[in-house]
Structure 1
Amino acid sequence: MSDVRVLLVDDQPLLRMGFRLALESQAELVVVGEAGNGREAVALSGELRPDVVVMDVRMPVLDGIAATGEIVNAHPDVRILILTTFDLDEYAFAGLRAGASGFLLKDVPPEDLVSAIRTIARGDAVVAPRVTRRLLEEFSGRLPVDGDLAPAHTVDDLTERETEVLRELATGATNAEIAAHLFLAEATVKTHVSRILMKLGLRDRVQAVIFAYESRLVEPS
Structure 2
Amino acid sequence: MTIRVVVADDQALVRDGIAAVLNSQNDIEVVGSAADGTEAVELVAALEPDVVVLDIRMPRLDGIGAAEAVLTRPDNRTRVMMLTTFDLDDYVYDALSLGASGFLLKQSPASDFITGVRTVAAGESMLAPSVTTRLIAEFTRRRGTAVVESVRASVLTPREREVLQVMARGMSNPEIASELSVAEETVKTHIGRILGKLGLRDRTQAVVYYFEHLQGRV
Aligned to 2:194: 196
Q: Relative to 1, partners in 2 of residues 1:27 and 1:178: Cα closer, same or farther, differing over 3 Å? A: closer
Q: How far 1:193 moved relative to its partner?
A: 0.9
Q: How many residues matched? A: 212
Aligned to 2:12: 13
Q: How far 1:209 moved relative to its partner?
A: 0.8
Structure 2 Cα separation of the partners of residues 104 and 82 of structure 1: 6
Aligned to 2:112: 112
Aligned to 1:32: 31
Aligned to 1:100: 100
Please, what TM-score do these two structures have when normalized by structure 1?
0.86
Contact 2:127 2:170 (8 Å CA) reproduced: no
Task: For 1:141, give the aligned amino acid.
Answer: R
Structure 2 Cα separation of the partners of residues 158 and 170 of structure 1: 15
Contact 1:80 1:102 (8 Å CA) reproduced: yes
Structure 1 Cα separation of the partners of residues 144 and 51 of structure 2: 28
Structure 2 Cα separation of the partners of residues 117 and 201 of structure 1: 25
Once superposed, what is the RMSD of the aligned Cα atoms?
2.3
Q: Relative to 1, partners in 2 of residues 1:16 and 1:200: Cα closer, same or farther, differing over 3 Å? A: same
Structure 2 Cα separation of the partners of residues 24 and 48 of structure 1: 17
Contact 1:90 1:135 (8 Å CA) reproduced: no
SS of the equivalent of 1:90 reads coil
Q: Relative to 1, partners in 2 of residues 1:155 and 1:43: Cα closer, same or farther, differing over 3 Å? A: same
- Write the mapping of 1:89-168 to structure 2, written as runs, cut at 5 A: 89-143=89-143, 154-168=152-166
Q: How far 1:106 moved relative to its partner?
A: 0.7
Aligned to 2:82: 82
Which of 186-195 and 60-69 deviates more? 186-195
Structure 1 Cα separation of the partners of residues 114 and 174 of structure 2: 25
SS of the equivalent of 1:141 reads helix
SS of the equivalent of 2:205 reads helix
User: Which consecutive segments of 4 or more residues in structure 1 shift more than 6 A?
Assistant: none
Which of 88-97 and 171-180 deviates more? 171-180
Per-residue CA deviation, residues 154-200 of structure 1 (Å, 9 max, x unaligned), is 21343332223212322444444544554433321221012212332
Q: How far 1:212 moved relative to its partner?
A: 0.9
Task: For 1:191, give the aligned amino acid.
Answer: T
Per-residue CA deviation, residues 78-130 of structure 1 (Å, 9 max, x unaligned), is 11111110111122222211211111111222222111111111111112234
Aligned to 1:209: 207
Task: For 1:91, give the aligned amino acid.
Answer: Y
Please, what TM-score do these two structures have when normalized by structure 2?
0.87
Structure 1 Cα separation of the partners of residues 166 and 25 of structure 2: 36
Task: For 2:89, give the aligned amino acid.
Answer: D
